[in-house]
Structure 1
Amino acid sequence: MADDQVLTDMLTMLDRSPEVLALRVCVIELLIERQRYADGLAHCGVALGHDPGNAQVLGLMTRCTTALSGASPAQETAAAAPSGFDWAAAEHEVGDIIEPAFVHGVPTDFVTEDDAATVERPALRLADVGGMAEVKRQLDLTLLGPLRNPELAKAFGTSARGGLLLYGPPGCGKTFIASAVAGELGANFYPIEIADILDIYIGASERNLHSVFELARRNAPCVLFLDEVDALGHKRSQMHASSGMRTVVNQLLTEMDSATHSNDGVFVLGATNHPWDVDVALRRPGRFDRMIFVGLPDLAARKSILHYHLRERPVAGIDLNALATHTDGLSGADLAHVCTSATQLAMADSMRTGEVRPIGMPDVQAALAQIRASTGAWFESARNVVEFANGDGSYDELARYLKGRR
């Protein structure tokens, strides 16, 4: 019954954040475990719509279709692991952070010495982030400044303790900025996604979460980056009283609480598209007590993003200034999509003629004509929050941004 409630809670979170692929994969795995193969197959189709060719989703889809066709468990297992696919190599390439909670029903260690390899030391700096001057200013004021000037911060009674929550529309570079912050501090960078935490076994998710924080503490100074915080730290008031996810939120609260754990040298950065769904206790002083809005890329940022995605491709006659000017309203992910689509158009033409033709402005303009901004639904939700749920002023920065874009 408790396991069913976990699935129900995950489905509820998925309704709120349908773009979180890792969460949908967890739901598919739970559906397969409960032999709800048709439902699992439907979710596989949605997942592949977001990430075509995803090997993990394709493997789950194979399991669902095999089971629906009436194949035996042995056949299903064989279908799930086709010959010629090196699972060990794939896991090494992906770099799984957390070991599986159980292997054939036997508990395993959650963090090994090899996991330290997943802690990076980025060479990226904030100067490498194009534009976004206001975001950089706030990062310097709330985090980087106190860390660079500890004596001055002490004199004013301030510090960089607690966590910092980056929020805004999807695909606008929150992860990129977090990595740049780690590089700016000369600290290790430990990125965590919800799939690294959640487990189908009761109690395993909490243990995974504790292991993640312990690894970050051992590698201090370290920027621990928690992506999709709204899925991991969802409002407990919106969960069933017996929900297994409530204990995951409780564990996160405990790990971030300075009264129960020493997080000296561990700087917790979170990212979310939906801060209004984050549990209120996670946003009290000492946890995610500061929020910074990361909006759509400005002119300088759009130019930098376009240059980054075209830099290693054959191009001719591309006017980055003109493109950056005419792509206002597109997210970083949208701009990457534009570059990929333009590349495909040039490739298709090259394959027809047998000669390599560089990507030109007509290709980019044709791609732009086919692509619409992906953040429209997010801004609709954000406007409702600003209008009806900003009584404490938490989203004043967002309100100013929305007003400036009218």
Structure 2
Amino acid sequence: MSTESPLIQSMRTAVAAAPNDVPLRLHLAELLLGAGLSEAAVAEAAVALQHAPGDAGARTLMMRAMGLPAPAAEQPEPTPAPAPAPPTGFDWAAAENEVADAVPPRFVTSGPTSTAPEAPLAADGGGDPGETMAWEVDTPGTVTLADVGGMEEIKERLEAAFLAPMRNPELGRLYGKSLRGGLLMYGPPGCGKTFIARAVAGELGASFMSVSINDVLDMWMGNSERNMHEVFETARRQAPCVLFLDEVDALGAKRSRMQHGGMRNTVNQLLTELDGVGGANEGVFVLAATNVPWDVDIALRRPGRLDRTLLVLPPDAPAREAILRYHLRDRPIESVDLGKLVKVTEDLSGADLAHLCESASERALLDSSRTGVVRMIDMRDLLGAAKEIRPSTDPWFASARNVAMFANEGGMYDELLAYLKRKRKL
């Protein structure tokens, strides 16, 4: 009777860590079939078909393992039936305890850890002269600020300066507060400005509309201004709506630096739409994001337009833990000490943390390929990747430091100066 090779045993361990991974389970079944373990291959193929009833590869492998001829040609599949529920009599807790010595835990703790939610932070034409563009508007989403890991200071600022007045329209009318608002978020790239904008829309129960310069700019004279107008008209029709202007430094760059009249006219149109003469912007909440606020036209920050600013910094410790959990959730890992990993990733952006997890996966994959033994991602891979990654935010802070120190007009960069002093980057 054939016995299982070390490779098959390693694959079984990987499948146990990721039981819903159909391709991984089918690969195990192929190895079992090649080793002459037909019954075991049939069992693995059957489980794969439970997870993916319409998978042609799983059906073909099942027939091969059972000694039946494969179909000559695949016919169109009928609508797959829902996967059968797992047997109610199976004691999963007992099975987990039985293999506890063979399969290490996915996460280990080295002290108190945060209970932050598992969410990534992070969170971007030319046509014919008479063409009308369609703008995509997302319905009110379920993502709220509660899904943003950590960043409590940013949440408090948003609540006090932006969200609280919007949630209480009656109180706003009593004090003569218009149901409109403008907020400019700035900071280093990859720190979650877009995700925060979506969370604000969820908090308000509002539609969400994201616009960048590619959506507005047009080769035909006058079309860019018309597109800008149509963007705001769509948001007004969908009110309440959060209109997110991504990379607003491109949409609203300083006109004093422009020589092209067409782009100047587009910026002028944006200013006109933000004014919303006659209360046209009631229920339209404008959020803008930029990495270079010093390149935004000063008129955009006039009271009544984007008159409030919010600095979005690299994720703090609870946010880093949430981001790392999110990007490791579907990967085969063992004995990962998140507390230690959070400490060595200070100053990394959300995008940097995603890259760290990807690099650690590549390390384990290459090692498995070289040795022929599939293994899990562990702390060696994650810490090794962390040593090689330099914070992508450093160049941004190098540029922002000079602006904050020597061009802090009206105290706009006071919050940035305080952060730089706290981090001793001045």
TM-score normalized by the length of structure 2: 0.67
Give me the whole-angstrom Cα distance separating, in 2, the residues matched to 1:314 and 1:120.
Answer: 34
The 3 A distance-change label for structure 1 pair 185 and 355 is farther
2:351 to 321, 330, 333: 333
Q: Deviations over 1:40-95 (max 9, x none)?
A: xxxxxxxxxxxxxxxxxxxxxxxxxxxxxxxxxxxxxxxxxxxxxxxxxxxxxxxx
The 3 A distance-change label for structure 1 pair 260 and 351 is farther
AA of the residue aligned to 1:270 = A
SS at match of 1:223: strand
Is the contact made by 2:245 and 2:289 (CA closer than 8 Å) also made in structure 1?
A: yes
Match of 1:396 in 2: 414
Is the contact made by 2:360 and 2:382 (CA closer than 8 Å) also made in structure 1?
A: yes
Match of 1:200 in 2: 219
Match of 1:382 in 2: 400
Match of 2:162 in 1: 143
Structure 1: state its 5+ residue gaps. Answer: 1-98
2:145 to 114, 126, 134: 126
Residue 265 (str. 1) matches residue 283 (str. 2): yes
AA of the residue aligned to 2:406 = F
The 3 A distance-change label for structure 1 pair 167 and 343 is same
Q: Deviations over 1:258-299 (max 9, x none)?
A: 226601111110001111111011101111010011111111
Is the contact made by 2:247 and 2:288 (CA closer than 8 Å) also made in structure 1?
A: yes
Q: Name the structure where helix makes up a greater proportion of residues.
A: 1
Match of 1:345 in 2: 363
1:263-302 alignment runs, 5 A limit: 263-302=281-320
Give me the whole-angstrom Cα distance separating, in 1, the residues matched to 2:332 and 2:226.
Answer: 48
Q: Deviations over 1:355-400 (max 9, x none)?
A: 4322111111111122111111211111111111113111111111
1:6-405 alignment runs, 5 A limit: 100-102=126-128, 107-111=130-134, 115-116=135-136, 118-159=137-178, 161-240=180-259, 242-259=260-277, 262-405=280-423
Is the contact made by 2:183 and 2:306 (CA closer than 8 Å) also made in structure 1?
A: yes
Structure with greater Cα Rg: 2
Is the contact made by 2:344 and 2:386 (CA closer than 8 Å) also made in structure 1?
A: no
AA of the residue aligned to 2:335 = G
CA shift at 1:401, angstroms?
1.4
Structure 2: state its 5+ residue gaps. Answer: 1-124
Is the contact made by 2:179 and 2:282 (CA closer than 8 Å) also made in structure 1?
A: no
AA of the residue aligned to 1:108 = E
TM-score normalized by the length of structure 1: 0.70
AA of the residue aligned to 1:251 = Q
AA of the residue aligned to 2:127 = A
* Aligned positions, number: 300
CA shift at 1:352, angstroms?
3.0
AA of the residue aligned to 1:325 = K
Give me the whole-angstrom Cα distance separating, in 1, the residues matched to 2:373 and 2:284.
Answer: 53
CA shift at 1:134, angstroms?
0.8
Q: Deviations over 1:166-196 (max 9, x none)?
A: 1111110000100011111111111112211
Q: Deviations over 1:312-365 (max 9, x none)?
A: 111111111111111111111111111111111122223334443221111111
The 3 A distance-change label for structure 1 pair 264 and 153 is closer
The 3 A distance-change label for structure 1 pair 281 and 179 is same
Give me the whole-angstrom Cα distance separating, in 1, the residues matched to 2:265 and 2:401.
Answer: 31
Q: Percent of aligned positions with the same letter in both sequences?
A: 59
The 3 A distance-change label for structure 1 pair 266 and 391 is closer
Relative to structure 2, which stretch is displaced further, 129-138 or 360-369?
360-369
Give me the whole-angstrom Cα distance separating, in 1, the residues matched to 2:237 and 2:367.
Answer: 53
CA shift at 1:155, angstroms?
4.3
